[in-house]
Structure 1
Amino acid sequence: MKARAFSYHRAHSVDDAREAHARSGDDARYIAGGQSLVPALALRLQAPRILIDINHIEELRGVRCDGEWLRIGALTRHCEMLTDPLIAEFAPLLRAAAPFVAHPAIRNRGTLGGSVALADPASEFPAMMLALDAEIEIAGTSGRRRVRADDFFIDLFETAVGPGEIVTAILVPRFRCNQRICFDELARRRGDYALVGCGMLATCKDGLVETIRIAFFSVGNVPTRARSAEAVVSGARIDADRIVAAQAALDRDLAPPESDEVPPAMRLHLARVLLGRLLARMSEAA
């Protein structure tokens, strides 16, 4: 199939993009990397009257330290997660997840802001926003606001971004020397969507895990924090018994939906296996 005919607007600022969207009567879509939007257009799953190209808005680019935060522009490409020194130093969980995102051709075009705004529950970066306790900056009619990742993902492909609004940046608390990260996923082939994936960020002291944030993807309609498992591990030393207890706690955290690809019980089993592996690594790092 081919996309329905549409108009094109090349935006030069966030305000310009938002004004173009408002003039369309909301029959518009923003496009940056286009790795999800272009296939949807080709299949006519989406058929907007106008595409608003935000690739040339300079204020959406760049990675920089902003006080205790690392500010990552929404147009930062997936491949930059692998090469940017500030991300490697202050957001290493994103660096650890990046090689698992699809394939090089997609990483070269896909953007962090686009991935987060789409909120595909099988994607790596939205879940890492939860593990990192990130905040998403959104430009709207009343100015800019920041939404915590815990409040950002609402339902399947539904987020706190309203009609005509634009994700402008991701703000991540800067990684500290007493913190540790782990990431992995299980997939049939490298580059396929994960059957289950997990990332975690822990603050450690004297071999104990003071706090930990554990986020799963490909286990439901939204990226999901394993809060019960977090409670089992927080304030304790990770040992074999603690890992088993955390795995058991996943029954209260995850409820994978029915799927033709993987039965819910199998996906939950894989989540327990993956959690055990990552907590074992975290124990060694702590």
Structure 2
Amino acid sequence: MITNYHRPQTLEETLELLKQPDTLPLGGGTVLNSPKYKEREISVVDLQALDLNHIRQTGYILEIGATATLQQLLEDAHTPAALVQAIRQEATLNIRNAATAAGTLVACDGRSAFATMMLAFDAKLTITGDSTSTVSLTDYWALRPGGLITRIDIPLNVKSAYQQVARTPADLPIVAAGLAQWSSGRTRLALGGYGKTPMLAMDGTEADGLESAASNAFHEAADQWASAEYRSDVAATLARRCLEAAQ
């Protein structure tokens, strides 16, 4: 339950407000309006006035403002096709019009198509607090550092692909695979559809062993949606399809 609402005009004011107990940033509101927060008294800090919703290309980097919506990102001409595909799978149009890029990454679980593809891109998060730092998405999920995400960067000079298997075309994935490959041969494979966050199955100097890495990453990935054996087999297949699609 939201008991206090703040709409600061500067980043400095925002950071001071967020230091208060039980105070959370408000982007699109799709997370804070969920049942998870119905029984909890919280204060919210609206980020709308901070101009953090930009999307722009800087050299070979796509800079995504923290409060840019998923729909903005989907419609931007610079967004890689694989990420557009993942965003379409992430949520319906109404949700995409409200959900922010940063909020989605903070609140996601392992079945997030968007987060899976961002992990494949080795997304870098700029976090502002008492100081400003840049962390990988993997480190952010592991450490949950304090401060406010203000920007997310992904590379544009890579080949990429996204594949998933779900019960229906519009459903969340049971198995998802996102792949990014650099001109140097570096290959990153992220898997989704299971667990608390998507997982990095491979970050190698080349693509050799990609299918084995995918299969091994999901060898214990059993839940109510699928067995580990099924996920392991499908992950290897999707990894191969991603590599073929990225060529």
TM-score by length of 1: 0.77
Residue 106 of structure 2: which of 117, 129, 149 is its match? 117
Q: Partner amino acid for 1:66?
A: T
Q: Following the alignment from structure 1 to structure 2, what is the Cα–Cα distance between the partners of residues 279 and 172?
A: 19
Q: Distance in 1 between matches of 2:44 and 2:36?
A: 10
Whole-angstrom distance in 2 between the partners of 1:117 and 1:169: 13
* Unmatched 5+ stretches in structure 1: 235-244
**Shift in Å at residue 131 of structure 1?**
1.2
* Cα offsets for 1:63-102 (capped at 9, x unmatched): 1233442211011111112211232xxx443223221111
Q: 2-side partners of 1:102 and 1:191: how far apart?
A: 9
* Shift in CA distance, 64/281, structure 1 to aligned 2, threshold 3 Å: closer
Equivalent position to 2:68, from 66, 76, 82: 76
Alignment gaps of 5+ in structure 2: none
1:139 offset after TM fit, Å?
Answer: 1.0
Whole-Å separation in 1 of the counterparts to 2:215 and 2:167: 24
Superposition RMSD in Å: 2.4
> What residue is the counterpart of 1:149 in the other structure?
137
Q: Structure 1 residues 198, 17: CA separation in 2 closer, same or farther (over 3 Å shift)?
A: same
Pick aligned residue for 1:12 from 5, 9, 33: 9
Shift of 1:251: 3.8
Find out whether 1:275 has 2:244 as its counterpart.
Answer: no
Residue matched to 2:35: 40
- Counterpart CA distance in 2 for 1:56 and 1:255 is 46
Is 1:130–2:119 an aligned residue pair? Answer: yes
1:167–1:269: structure 2 CA closer, same or farther, 3 Å change rule? Answer: same
What is the SS of the residue equivalent to 1:122? Answer: coil
Query: 1: distance between equivalents of 2:237 and 2:141?
Result: 25
Does the CA-based 8 Å contact 1:79-1:104 persist in structure 2?
yes
3-state SS, counterpart of residue 235 of structure 2: helix
Q: How does 1:84-103 map to 2 (within 5 A)?
A: 84-87=76-79, 91-103=80-92
The two structures have a TM-score, normalised by structure 2, of 0.88
Dislocated runs of 4+, deviation >6 Å: none
Instruction: Count residues in correspondence.
Output: 247
Give the superposition deviation at 1:256: 4.3
Instruction: Measure how far apart 1:140 and its partner are.
Output: 1.1
Deviation, structure 1 residue 5: 5.3
**What's the CA shift string for 1:172-213, capped at 9, x where partnerless?**
22x23xx42111211112332211111111235xxxx82211
Task: Determine the C-alpha separation between the residues in 2 that align with 1:192 and 1:55.
Answer: 30
Cα pair 2:177 2:238 within 8 Å, conserved: yes
8 Å Cα contact 2:124/2:135 also seen in 1: yes
Contact 1:9 1:51 in 2 (8 A): yes
Cα deviation for residue 30 of structure 1 reads 1.3
Shift of 1:231: 6.3
Equivalent in 150, 166, 173 of residue 168 of structure 1: 150
**Which one has a bigger Cα radius of gyration?**
1
Post-superposition offset of 1:130: 2.1
1:194-233 matches, within 5 Å, as: 194-204=173-183, 210-227=185-202, 230=204, 233=207
Q: Percent identity?
A: 24
Letter in 1 for 2:99: G
Cα distance in 1 for residues equivalent to 2:90 and 2:23: 27
Decide whether aligned partners of structure 1 residues 180 and 8 sit closer, same or farther in structure 2, where only a CA change above 3 A counts: same
1:239 equivalent in structure 2: none
Structure 1 residues 260-271: aligned runs within 5 Å: 260-271=224-235
Q: Could you tell me which amino acid in structure 2 is paired with residue 151 of structure 1?
A: D
